[in-house]
Structure 1
Amino acid sequence: MLRVVLGLLVVANVLSAIAVVFARHEHRQLFIELSKLEKARDELNIEFGRLQLEQATWAESNRIDQVARNRLGMRFPETRDIVVVRP
């Protein structure tokens, strides 16, 4: 009887050790994946900041005015070209 109990305790101890090793290995794998995902997140945040800056640059009123004048040939109307419509 004592040998059976001792044998069961040894088997339980070995199984517990294997479970600890497996859990630590799984933890390491998940930590590596988390680190990769955090790095990707940081890179995306940097790219998003760059894109916001680029969008702000393209949307500046001076730039829009310059493009309207140079590429589209737009200009402010002369006083004689303005017509006021009254009800």
Structure 2
Amino acid sequence: MKLLAALAFAALLVADLVSAIGVVWARHESRVLFVELTRLQNTRDELNVDFGRLELEQATWADPGRIEQMARSQLGMVNPPPEDVELIQR
């Protein structure tokens, strides 16, 4: 009977140790994943700032006034004279 009680005690002790190690491992993994999540959120925020800056830059480059100015100065484009304009109706 004492042998059976000693084996049961040993089994419970091993189960307790395994459970404790499992809890420590799970908490460690949780912390590692939280750090990774925080890093990814910071990266996302930085990318959102860059995206907003690039959208503003694109809007600046695509401004119709700027495009017209570039067409006139670099390409030598001009508005056609009124006699060369033809209106087409559907």
TM-score by length of structure 1 reads 0.89
Q: CA RMSD in A?
A: 1.7
Question: Which runs of 5 or more residues in structure 2 are unaligned?
Answer: none
Q: CA deviation at 1:81?
A: 3.9
Look up the equivalent residue of 1:15 and give its one-letter code: V
Q: What's 2:17 paired with?
A: 14
The 1:84/1:51 distance shift into structure 2, 3 A limit, reads closer
TM-score by length of structure 2 reads 0.86
Aligned ranges 1:68-79 → 2 under 5 Å: 68-79=71-82
Q: What's 1:64 paired with?
A: 67
Q: CA deviation at 1:77?
A: 1.1
Aligned ranges 1:45-60 → 2 under 5 Å: 45-60=48-63
Percent of counterpart pairs with the same letter?
A: 52
Q: CA deviation at 1:54?
A: 0.6
Look up the equivalent residue of 2:30 and give its one-letter code: H
Superposed CA deviations along residues 43-77 of structure 1, whole A, max 9, x for unmatched, are: 11110111111111111110111101111111101
Would you say how many aligned residue pairs link Structure 1 and Structure 2?
Answer: 86
Runs of 4+ in 1 over 3 A off after TM superposition: 80-85
Look up the equivalent residue of 1:57 and give its one-letter code: T
Question: Which runs of 5 or more residues in structure 1 are unaligned?
Answer: none
Q: What's 1:43 paired with?
A: 46
